[in-house]
Amino acid sequence: MRRALEPKVWGGRASIEEIRLLKAICSHMGDRACRDRANAMLKQKQSQTTGGAP
């Protein structure tokens, strides 16, 4: 599952739900770097969908 999600998330083509799922997978696996990167992507995606609000 993680291998399928990572290219979409890192490429910026994933939905918010897909990013959340990858973040949860990374957290469960103890991969902090992956979790933090997914969290940053999630914040970026959320700001895009809300019109760029901080």
Percent of the chain with pLDDT over 70: 93
Cα–Cα distance, 46 to 11 (Å, whole number) = 16
Q: Which pTM was predicted?
A: 0.88
Q: Where are the domains of the chain?
A: 2-49
| pLDDT higher at 37 or 54 | 37
pLDDT in tens, 18-29: 999 999 999 999
Cα–Cα distance, 54 to 52 (Å, whole number) = 6
Residue 49: pLDDT band with limits 50, 70, 90:
confident
Q: Contact, 41 vs 10, CB < 8 A?
A: yes
